[in-house]
Amino acid sequence: MYALAVVVVALAILLGDWERIRFNFFNVEVMADMFPGVLTVAARNTILYTLMSFAIGLVGALALALMKLSTIGPYRAFAIGYIELFRGLPALITLILIGFGIPIAFDLRMPGGRVGAGVLGLSIVAAAYMAETIRAGIEAVPWGQSEAARSLGMSSNRTMFTIVLPQAFRIVIPPLTNEMVLLIKDTSLFFVLGTTPLTKELTKFARDFMVEIRNATPLTVAALVYLAITLPLTWLVRRLERRAAVSR
């Protein structure tokens, strides 16, 4: 098996057009041209869109999780319907629905324009995914915790917010960080909504730059910036998970 790998690598080295690869993917002049826009506009927008979608999605997810665990039937039904629907659809469909479908149908403009529509669409999808995570976290808190709180005279709402949720959130921080990594990548879908030079996120920025100068180096740069954001986050998740494992 090693022999095969050696042969493949050797062939790649011998036959690869290295000058061409260097020129098209690792072109230093192109890289220099991309700065500072790739950071001050593109990366900034990617991070901004992610954080906004995550924050709004988290609030929605918490509401959905509580609804799914509610004793009130219609709330449960709504939460289940919502979660299954938006986890079942491609995020792209939801984005197009919010960005074009609903504005066309009701003849209205989304607050915040195209970026607003993108953030809203992504929040809707993120809420569906994170709701299940949060629900699982709430259910992972031992029932005895609720019983102890109730026996001290706390109402069920008070018990949820002061005793159960603080513990549930510790449990779900690693999986929620994972959701955020997925969300970072999903912001690349914003391009379907149309952009202006100042609202481009990383993928759109790189793609437009590539088409303009007919060179693929911007893709390499975008990939490296994505990794610079996501790798520390996944490293953080691993650390958090290890710490959680130790404390239990």
Partner 1 sequence: MTACAIKISELHKYFGKLEVLKGIDFEVAMGEVVCVVGPSGSGKSTLLRCVNRLEEPTSGTILIEGDDITDPDADVDRLRTRIGMVFQQFNLFPHLTVLGNVTIAQRKVLKRSEKESVEVARQVLDRVGVLDKIDEYPIRLSGGQQQRVAIARSLAMDPDMMLFDEPTSALDPELIGEVLDVMRKLAEDGMTMMVVTHEMSFAQEVADRVVFMDGGVVVEEGPPAEVLSNPKAERTRRFLRMVLEK
Q: Where does this chain bind partner 1 (CB under 8 A)? A: 142, 144-145, 147-155, 158, 162-163, 166-167, 170, 247
Which CB sits closer to partner 1, 167 or 215?
Answer: 167
Q: Could you give the CA distance from residue 28 to residue 51 in angstroms, rounded to a whole number?
A: 31
The DSSP H or E segment spanning 97 is none
Q: How far is the CB of 50 from partner 1 (least distance, A)?
A: 28
Question: What CA dihedral angle connects 231, 233, 234 and 237, to 10 degrees?
Answer: 160
Number of other residues whose CB lies within 10 A of the CB of residue 182: 14
In the complex, minimum distance from the CB of residue 247 to partner 1, in angstroms, rounded to a whole number: 7
CA distance 169 to 173: 6
Report the nearest approach of partner 1 to the CB of residue 189 (Å).
Answer: 37
Please state the closest distance from residue 171 (CB atom) to partner 1, in A: 11
Which residue number, 67 or 163, has a Cβ lying nearer to partner 1? 163
The DSSP-derived string for 127-169 is HHHHHHHHHHHHHHS-HHHHHHHHHTT--HHHHIIIIIHHHHH
Report the residue count for the chain: 248
What's the closest the beta carbon of residue 72 comes to partner 1, in angstroms? 17
170/207 with CB nearer partner 1: 170
Nearer to partner 1, 41 or 240 (CB): 240
Which of 162, 234 has the CB closer to partner 1?
162
Taking the complex as a whole, the smallest distance from the CB of residue 76 to partner 1 amounts, in Å, to 20
Which token pair is 93?
A: 């469909």
At closest approach, how far in Å is the CB of 176 from partner 1?
Answer: 17
Considering beta carbons, is residue 151 or 196 the nearer one to partner 1?
151
| Helix ranges (DSSP H) in the chain | 2-15, 18-25, 28-34, 37, 44-68, 73-88, 91-96, 102-106, 113-140, 143-151, 156-159, 165-186, 202-213, 217-247
Residues with Cβ within 8 Å of 229's Cβ and at least 6 positions away in sequence, in order, are 43, 46, 47, 184
Nearer to partner 1, 76 or 170 (CB): 170
